[in-house]
Structure 1
Amino acid sequence: MKKTLRWTAVAAAVAAAVAVGVVAGGSLCLLAYSLTPRKTMRARNAAAREVMTTEYPFLEPWLDSLETTGALRDTTIVGAEGERLHAIYAFAPTPTDRTAVIVHGYTDNAVRMLMIGYMYNRDLGYNILLPDLYFHGRSEGRAIRMGWKDRLDVLRWMEIANGIFGGHTQMVVHGISMGAATTMMVSGEQQQPYVKCFVEDCGYTSVRDQFAKELREQFHLPAFPLLPVASWICDLRYGWNFREASALEQVRKSTLPMLFIHGDADDFVPTEMVYPLYEAKQQGDRELWVVPGAAHALSYRDNREEYTDRVQEFVGRYIE
């Protein structure tokens, strides 16, 4: 009997060790898959200009003109870890204090947000600054930060943009997808007087919610125990965790006006995420536009004229 109990205890210990190993290994794989997809990002960086001018043909003559005249410029700052962070910017066609800081999505880069740059610069007459977030585009870094620590870099880019464009700007921050989540995360911080409003397009409620959705739909796995363990490892390795990275909680603290945009055919960042975000915005003006038939991050592409009109109408209430 004692021998049987001893072997049972040994078997249970081995099973527990194997389970711990499987969860730890799975969590490490989750982090690598989600936060360091280097091959995907290299391909996106290399093809960014070609993809954008193919999908948005009107960008090519505008970009050619900016580049020929030297109007599309580069700038860099040094991040908190000593990394080099890069952005591109352009002055408005006619001198103005109106400025847009435009934030790209997951595994994207500043070039892949130039359609929104065109809207603000060419159509609406704004100065524009488009950062490459940490680990994206031409910026350095160790891993994607899903908008959370990026919010602090974007606050610095907003300050840089204000300085570049004269020191007395009226500023909107506009993000798409992860850039929209970043924008909402920014909105919950203390703002400078030059910041007037925000536009978020298809942002997620929190990193935990988005990762749980991806685990369920892509891999048919439950959030527990992989997500808590992966979040703990992320905190040890990169200094942030999934639960604290919440656009929803930041929006609760936001006091400046915000336009929420989401396609009703979005199955990547599910459309239903926009409703709790909108409801959480209890301070300051808010407006919601759910775009019929629009898939993830395609509301502008598929509804260019209406998108431009709605942004102009909303932002124009707060920026003269």
Structure 2
Amino acid sequence: MSFAVSFPVMLRTKDGVRIDAVHTPSRGPGDLCVVIAHGFTGSWRERTSRRIAHVFSAFGGVVAFDFRGHGRSGGLSTVGDEEVLDVAAAVRHARTLGYARVAVAGFSMGAAVALRHAALHGGVDAVASVSGPARWYYRGTAPMRRVHWAMEQRMGRAAARVFKGTRIRSTGWDPVPLAPFEAVPLISPIPLLVVHGDRDAFFPLDHAYQLYEAAQEPRELWIEDGYGHAESDATPELIRRIGRWVSASVAG
């Protein structure tokens, strides 16, 4: 697949962290922008993320970025806490580019951050949570036990830096940030979409149900048959459906 032309840019968050980002102009309507928030150890430069940006660009412009501690961005990852400032910088950039309507689509860790950003900062017209956790400290699956090892152990953080280029802060949360299921009631009246696969190896379906049940209207829940986890398993058709939902939600 050949991807649409995009324009890299370096953003700066309110706490002074440099964020590596990219703008892909719209191949469709000119007033909508989708901000993409990737998962833990991800990057907008990965082929899966670029493919998602390309599909979304049929519905509007796209701003994708690397969270702090990831890729070419500065700072250290706080795994979902201070990353709300990274989303805020990306949304602010989309507004600066002239987009009147801005939605955030987050995947896995990025989904948790997107929910917390919409609840705490607002300023968006729709938010989609894809493969996101409802609560912190979940260790009920083998992949999540590996994630916690990478976050909490010195050797795990070293491995994440060497093999994934992800730099993780060694100190834990203090205080513990608002959990996603605690954030979703605060999002209304911003339209919310919760998407989760029935073959997600990281977070079982009860996370999606917990988010949906805690949210206020307008809200939608999609349980996708055969879908695994986040960007790596998201098909172009699923991304197109999310793009159509975003377009309809911001128009409404």
Task: Quote the residue 1:110 is aligned against.
Answer: 44
Structure number with higher relative contact order (C-alpha < 8 Å, ≥ 6 residues apart): 2
| 1:62 to 2:3 alignment | yes
Q: CA deviation at 1:291?
A: 0.6
Instruction: Choose from 198, 212, 237 the match for 1:305.
Output: 237
User: 1-side partners of 2:7 and 2:134: how far apart?
Assistant: 33
Aligned with 2:7 (options 73, 83, 98): 73
Q: Secondary structure at the match of 1:317?
A: helix
* 1:7 match: none
**C-alpha distance in 2 between matches for 1:286 and 1:252:** 10
1:271 deviates by 2.1
Alpha-carbon offset, residue 96 of structure 1: 0.8
Percent of residue pairs bearing the same amino acid type: 25
Give the counterpart of 2:56 among 112, 116, 120.
Answer: 120
TM-score, normalization by structure 1 = 0.64
SS in 1 for 2:20: strand
User: How far apart, CA to CA, are the structure 1 residues paired with 2:8 and 2:171?
Assistant: 27
* 3-state secondary structure, aligned to 2:115: helix
Please say which of residues 288-297 and 144-153 is displaced more in the overlay: 144-153
Asked if structure 2 preserves the Cα contact closer than 8 Å seen for 1:173 and 1:183, the reply is yes
Q: Residues 264 and 292 of structure 1 are in contact (CA less than 8 Å); yes or no, is this contact kept in structure 2?
A: yes
| Equivalent residues in 2 for 1:18-97, closer than 5 Å | 58=1, 61-63=2-4, 66=5, 72-93=6-27, 96-97=30-31
Q: State how far apart, in whole Å, the 1-side matches of 2:201 and 2:29 are.
A: 41
Which consecutive unaligned segments of at least 5 residues does structure 2 have?
Answer: 154-168
Which residue in the other structure is 2:119 paired with? 188
1:191 partner letter:
G
3-state secondary structure, aligned to 2:249:
coil
75-84 vs 267-276, greater mean Cα deviation: 75-84
Q: 1:205 aligns with which of 134, 145, 153?
A: 134
Alpha-carbon deviation of 1:239?
Answer: 7.2
Provide the rounded CA distance (Å) in 2 between the counterparts of 1:96 and 1:249.
34
Contact kept, 8 Å, 1:89 with 1:129, in 2: the verdict is: yes
1:306 & 1:216 partners in 2: Cα distance? 23
Determine if the alignment matches structure 1 residue 98 to structure 2 residue 98: no
Distance 1:152 1:246 in 2: 16
Change (3 A) 1:110 1:242: farther
Q: C-alpha displacement at 1:238, in angstroms? A: 4.7
Deviations 1:108-150 (A, max 9, x none): 01123222211111x32x11100110001110113x2222210
- Counterpart residue identity of residue 149, structure 1: E
Separation in structure 1 between the aligned mates of residue 180 and residue 131 of structure 2, nearest angstrom? 12
For 1:186 and 1:310, locate their aligned partners in 2 and report how far apart those are by CA, in whole Å.
Answer: 19
Aligned residue runs from structure 1 range 222-241, under 5 A = 238=171, 240-241=173-174
- The corresponding residue for 2:204 is 270
Aligned CA RMSD, in angstroms, stands at: 2.8
Contact 1:206 1:243 in 2 (8 A): no
